[in-house]
Structure 1
Amino acid sequence: MQNTSLSVGDPIEGRCTKCRKNTSHIIITLDEEAPGKVECQTCSRQHKYRPPTVAKKAAVRKTAKPKDADRKEWESLRADMENTKAKTYSMTDTYKINALIDHPSFGLGIVQRIIGSQKVEILFEEGRKTMRCQ
């Protein structure tokens, strides 16, 4: 690998604050073998050297999918569920383990565990949800 030294007048890639993007620059001054002041080739503005920015990866949004274990557990419990015995979900109610819940968005579910004094974990067809309760 070859070690190249920079000198005044050399082209260099950098971030221009006026253009707000990575552009080609010309080195005007050097500070201890690093570019000090540069001139943008696009807008001709002189400014302190700023290294080029690296493009960020786009965020990948994951959709919640039920785990295989949750799906199998749901299918095995579904046969014993009776819609008529389900209690309509309300944040102001209290629930016990194995209680059958009818939620307006998630449908039928079974209380799996009680988390603290105001939350329960319910197994729905689309996966486990932590819900608020009294």
Structure 2
Amino acid sequence: MKSTTLSVGAPIEARCTKCRKNTGHIIVTMAEKDPVKVQCNKCNRQHKYRPPITAKKPAGRQTADPKVAERKEWAVLRPGMNSAEATNYSMTAAYKVQALVNHPVFGLGLVQRVAGPQKVEILFEDGKKTMRCK
């Protein structure tokens, strides 16, 4: 969409202040070689030219998918769990860290931490879930 010579009426890629996205624009006014005012092709709003924003590269190494790490943690902890000792999950019950819970949908889980008032974080086979409690 870039034009080699910029002039009034030429298409240009710019950041729209209303759409908040990089969209196609038409140059409305120029100052020497730089566009000053543009009109968005999507919302038809005229605004000051803002160059398009490029996606930022993540700094450093990519972190692993947290779900994969949670499943690995589950695989390590599962052999030591006795499902007969698990209590059935209830939103009105109070739970302590390391307590075994049997949930009707998610299955067997281990309370990892108390996440705040009336919330616990439980590790299930599918991953960690924040659940309501007393």
For the aligned pair, the TM-score class normalised by the smaller chain equals 0.5 to 0.7
Unaligned runs of 5+ in 1: 16-20, 39-46, 58-62
SS at match of 1:105: coil
Bigger Cα Rg:
1
Unaligned runs of 5+ in 2: 14-22, 39-44, 56-64
Q: Percent identity?
A: 45
Q: Distance in 1 between matches of 2:101 and 2:47?
A: 62
Return the offset for 1:105: 2.4
1:111 corresponding residue in structure 2: 111
> Is 1:74 equivalent to 2:74 in the alignment?
yes
Q: Give the 3 Å change call, closer, same or farther, for CA 11–72 of structure 1 in structure 2.
A: closer
Q: Distance in 1 between matches of 2:35 and 2:52?
A: 19
2:11 corresponding residue in structure 1: 13
Return the offset for 1:13: 2.0
Return the offset for 1:53: 8.9
Q: Letter of the aligned partner of 2:101 in structure 1?
A: I
Q: Distance in 2 between matches of 1:73 and 1:52?
A: 47
Instruction: Please give the TM-score of this superposition, normalised by the length of structure 2.
Output: 0.53
* Deviations, residues 67-122 of structure 1 (Å, cap 9, x unaligned): 2xx33331222112232322121111111121111112221101112233311111
Is the contact made by 1:13 and 1:52 (CA closer than 8 Å) also made in structure 2?
A: no
Q: Give the 3 Å change call, closer, same or farther, for CA 73–48 of structure 1 in structure 2.
A: closer
* Deviations, residues 31-88 of structure 1 (Å, cap 9, x unaligned): x6577899xxxxxxxx96775995998xxxxx97232xx3333122211223232212
* Aligned residue pair count: 110
Q: Letter of the aligned partner of 2:105 in structure 1?
A: S
Is the contact made by 2:37 and 2:48 (CA closer than 8 Å) also made in structure 1?
A: no
Is the contact made by 1:98 and 1:110 (CA closer than 8 Å) also made in structure 2?
A: yes
